[in-house]
Amino acid sequence: MSALVSAIPNSNESSALPPAVWRADQMGSYQAAVISTGHPLLDQELPNGGWPSATLIELLMQQPGIGEMRLLRPAFQAIARKRRIALVQPPYMPQIAAWTAWGLPVDSLVWIKTTRSADALWSAEQVLRNGSCGALLLWQSHVRTESLRRLHLAAQGTETLFWMMRPLACTQDASPASLRLALRPTYGGIQVDIVKRRGPRRDDPLHVPMDDMPSSVFLPASRSAAPISNPVPTREAVAHISDQSINTAMTGPQACSVN
């Protein structure tokens, strides 16, 4: 019995624990780089104070367009200065006007649209493995656990920030993601429920205020308020939106090869 007791580290030894192990009443940590969310209240609730790279992050929501892109905007602004941001299978067409209004370079946006979920998963894995982008957003309604594990493993070998947007109903499903947040619209901001994190359990929802949120969550935001709006045509296309393709991007997808 004494051997078992002595093997349990006390609070003074907790700092010596590896990043993948943490005490139940303390916040864990990540070895990979972390970028601030830009929202101090949220940073305080996340290990290392921000979005972790080299891991799968799940954002769970009832429907797209509830403020999730605004939540990520500060991270976009930090990443887009040096690296590209890939959007794979977004539910709506990327809005170039809003992208530039947020101060994001047009050539930092990569838009990948496919007709099959399998192709979207494959594209996301290639983006992770080749390390060509600083951030990756993937929208998926139905994805198998083995596919999640594969993407999570691919993310661990990169410095890419990887968010996957999934339905709120997936909250009860098992996932290898190290961070899972359930998002709900609320007046003047967004409500965040921490489903999973490297740290103690938090049962109370967190209100993250955002000044540019619509005055009523029941009214749709203007088309220029977020970088994704308007339904995407259902034909297969892979588009890298550049300065020369702004007009095309506003009216329809541009097909090109994936390097």
Distance in angstroms (rounded) separating the CA atoms of residues 68 and 83: 21
Side-chain-side CA neighbours of 16 within 13 Å: the count stands at: 6
What is the predicted pLDDT for the residue at 173? 93
Kindly give, in sequence order, each residue whose CB lies less than 8 Å from that of residue 91, ignoring residues fewer than 6 positions away.
Answer: 64, 65, 139, 228, 232
Q: How many CB atoms lie within 10 A of CB 187?
A: 12
List the domains of the chain with CATH numbers. 29-251 (3.40.50.300)
On the question of pLDDT at 227 being above 90, the answer is no
Pairing of strands 206-209, 189-196: antiparallel
Predicted TM-score (pTM) of this structure = 0.78
Taking CB atoms within 8 Å and a gap of at least 24, the contacts of 49-52 are 51/75, 51/161, 51/163, 51/179, 52/161, 52/178, 52/179
* Both tokens assigned to 94: 């990327």
pLDDT tens profile 59-68: 999 999 999 9
What is the pLDDT of the chain when averaged over all its residues?
80
* Per-range mean pLDDT, top range of 11-20, 139-148, 231-240: 139-148
Distance in angstroms (rounded) separating the CA atoms of residues 57 and 121: 15
pLDDT tens profile 97-119: 999 999 999 999 999 999 999 99
On the question of pLDDT at 239 being above 90, the answer is no
On the question of pLDDT at 219 being above 50, the answer is no
CA dist 258 → 35, 65, 98, 237 (Å): 28, 28, 25, 10
